[in-house]
Amino acid sequence: MTGRRPRPQAPTSRRPHPPAGDAPSPPTAESALQERRQPREPVRAFLALGSNLGDRRAYLRQAVGRLPDVVGVSHTYETDPVGGPPGQGAYLNCVVELRTTRTARELLTAAQAAEAAAARVRMERWGPRTLDVDVLLVGEETIDEPDLVVPHPRMWERGFVLVPLADLAPELVIGRLTSELARGVRPAGKL
């Protein structure tokens, strides 16, 4: 047979990138949406947990079970309350590490859901609470909005955050965790 064979067809699916020389198409609503659906690379994130009311260890355990993407949990530490009204009980604090594609805002939502599940009632700032969950760090993300600041603005001044954080990421606290900050942060075993 000498008949001509049909030439292979070019694939008809849309190519993600135009070949060099093609004018780039302007972004459309569809492409913007597509961009937002792109999977994010997972990052290391850290959340601080504290409880000074009721069965503190049970509240921390329950919260760790509810939080997403947890890959590590520090030891727990008993700590004297910093700020707030006099006469509050000691806190039990720990830090959890996440490997996550969630944003800081998504993690704040998860943190607040865990607080709500612990029947936390907000009465006064720094007052006693069954559970407080703070978003410390989310990869390299920085955010400064009225209801969310990351990295957490007070974390570097707090022994009850830095000592448990050092269990999981000692490189992050080098030069920041002084013996003065660590004073009064008492090891209280595994969660």
Binding residues for ligand A4P, rule: CB under 6 A, are 50, 79-84, 91, 93, 108, 111, 122, 125-126, 132, 134-135, 147-150, 152, 154, 160
What ranges make up the beta strands (E) of 34-183?
A: 43-51, 70-73, 77-79, 91-100, 132-138, 143-145, 148-150
The tokens of 168 are what? 């999981």
Tell the smallest beta-carbon distance from residue 71 to ligand A4P (Å).
Answer: 19
Is residue 74 within 8 A of residue 95, CB to CB? The reply is yes
Give least dist CB 27 to ligand A4P, A.
32
- Binding marks (x or -) toward Mg ion, 113..132, rule CB under 5 A? -------------------x
Q: Which is nearer to ligand A4P, 70 or 148 (CB)?
A: 148
Binding partner of 81, given ligand A4P, Mg ion, none, CB within 5-8 angstroms per partner class: ligand A4P
- Which pair of structure tokens corresponds to residue 40? 């994010």
Do 111 and 123 meet the contact criterion of CB atoms below 8 Å apart?
Answer: no
**134 catalytic, yes or no?**
yes
Q: Which is nearer to Mg ion, 34 or 109 (CB)?
A: 109
5 is catalytic: no
Rounded to a whole number of angstroms, the minimum distance from the CB of residue 133 to Mg ion is 7
Helices (H), the chain: 29-37, 56-66, 104-117, 159-168, 170-173, 179-182
**Phi–psi pair at 156, nearest 5 degrees:** -75, -10
In the bound state with Mg ion, the residue whose beta carbon lies nearer, of 42 and 80, is: 80
Q: Interior CA angle at 34 toward 28 and 35, to 5°?
A: 90
Task: Supply the residues annotated as catalytic.
Answer: 120, 129, 132, 134
Binding site for Mg ion (CB under 5 A): 132, 134
